[in-house]
Amino acid sequence: MDVAVGAGGNGSECVEVAATPDAVHVRDSKNLHGPRLALTPAAWAGFVAYAARR
């Protein structure tokens, strides 16, 4: 599993992204027991492409 952590401009808005062969998992890095989002790799790729255009 590959894990990446990203931060906003001030560093207080971080998320962790963990990629597995079947899903990409996203969660708030400061709220480890909070809600999590699981996307298919295709849905994640679509989101990343969309976000890159913004």
Q: What is the pLDDT of residues 22-42, one digit of tens each?
A: 999 999 888 889 999 999 999
**pLDDT at residue 3, rounded to an integer:** 59
Residue 1, pLDDT > 60, answer no
**pLDDT at residue 5, rounded to an integer:** 59
Question: Average per-residue pLDDT in the chain?
Answer: 85
Q: Beta strand 24-28 with 36-39: parallel, antiparallel or unpaired?
A: antiparallel
Q: What is the pLDDT of residues 42-51, one digit of tens each?
A: 999 999 999 8
The residue with tokens 């599993």 is 1
